[in-house]
Amino acid sequence: MVRRCIVACALILSALGFGPVAVAQTAGCQFVLGFMTLHDLDPKDVGSCVDDQSLAQASGDQQQHTTNGLLAWRKADNWTAFTDGYRTWINGPNGLVTRLNTQRYSWEADFGAPGTTAIGDSTAASGLSKIQHIVIIMQENRSFDQYFGTYPGAEGLPRQNGQFTTCVPDPKKGACVAPYHNGNDGGAGGPHSAANATGDVDGGKMDGFIAQDQKAGRGDCAKLQDPNCTDSATADTSDVMGYRDAREIPNYWAYAQNFILQDHMFEPNASWSLPSHLYLLSEWAAKCSQKDDPSSCVNELDHPDIPPDFVAPAARASYTSAPNFAWTDMTYLMFKNNVSWKYYVAEGTEPDCEDDTKTCTPVPQRAGTPGIWNPLAWFTTVHQDNQLNNIQPLNSFYADAKAGNLAKISWFAPAQTS
């Protein structure tokens, strides 16, 4: 089961009882993640690093000394801050703010602590009024544990005293493979149909990932006539046990430290790309027997109607039936309530293979060619609402953002190379 994620974490600082001292810069140290962000916002006040970021094992807090004071990230309230002993700079919910160490903002965890006074935040908006635009970026074929399994404080890969406490059986080698750091940019991964997900989870034991990968082979891609299909009999199937961290994906870990990281958010369907994107847009994957008739639709987790550009090349000439997504998608609710939306598609290649295939020949994708990452054009409601033009190339997103013309709700699906 793939846990898809949305990203981040933040922080504040309680009063630190020390005065400013002159400390020499140490060669070789560096700022990373949230500390680097705060330093870049105010390099003059923060100063240069003296040592590298370190973890306090008892509290889970992070800290780093600088030539002007101390950077800190406190697990209790998740804001990043710097103090020179008298003042504190906090990269808070409304950007960088400054206060005395005897003061507290209402959004700090120790607000109202003895010996402190409350300080107002006149720039703070309240509730949903803070949100002007929602941008949904859909990426896939990565699990939560693969990207954030070792992120501090997250419920990821089980560990005790720095050692992994779990492993997954390798049926062919007769061994049990523990998670390991994989520094490679790419990864073969494994098959991911509904049946594969059931096998991965294995009744809750979560020990079927390698076995499922070993069952995937050249036969899976034969219908797409793909000469590049990986044969699991010779591939390193332990690849599914590899994880990345801030060394390979520093941007994702920075999102996690500065915003929100959901370690208990799961995908709504255990299947491949097309059903996942149908769920993203409508909370359902189905097959409809009657054109434009939602009452004729029934559940179909693995095999909804396939877009014509994703049919096997040999069968494409005889494939004349357009997908019939007759049930209501979310854009209908936006249309009905006058909420603007756009769906941006990058020009490039499709990111996934049909059904449970591991690898296959790339299929071109663009805004005008619906595919498994761009199913909106086949929804009856989008046609009835005359909103097909809301599906646009990704370059239009940058132009809209620059001009201040973003829709209230935006989706975009990156290309394979993204």
State how beta strands 391-393 and 341-345 pair. parallel
pLDDT at 245 over 90: yes
Burial class (CB in 10 A: 0-12, 13-18, 19+), 224: buried
pLDDT tens per residue across span 186-207: 776 778 888 888 999 999 999 9
Task: Please state, rounded to an integer, the average pLDDT across all residues of the chain.
Answer: 80
Res 21 pLDDT > 50: no
The more confidently predicted of residues 1 and 327 is 327
Residue 184: pLDDT band with limits 50, 70, 90:
confident
Q: What percent of the chain has pLDDT over 70?
A: 77
Query: Among 11-15, 136-140, 282-286, 397-401, whose mean pLDDT is lowest?
Result: 11-15
Q: Return the domain boundaries, the chain.
A: 33-123, 144-249, 273-413
Give the pLDDT of residue 369.
45
Interhelix angle 250-258/33-41, rounded to 10 degrees, is: 70
Question: Given CA atoms 389, 395, 400, 406 in this order, what sign does their dihedral have?
Answer: positive
User: Residues 32-51: what's their mean pLDDT?
Assistant: 90
Tell me what pLDDT residue 116 has.
85
Q: Is the confidence at residue 103, as pLDDT, over 60?
A: yes
Region 263-286 average pLDDT: 90
Q: How much is the pLDDT for 1?
A: 34
What CA–CA distance (Å, rounded) separates 35 from 43? Answer: 11
357-376 tens-digit pLDDT: 555 555 665 655 457 888 99
Residue 11 has pLDDT above 50, yes or no: no
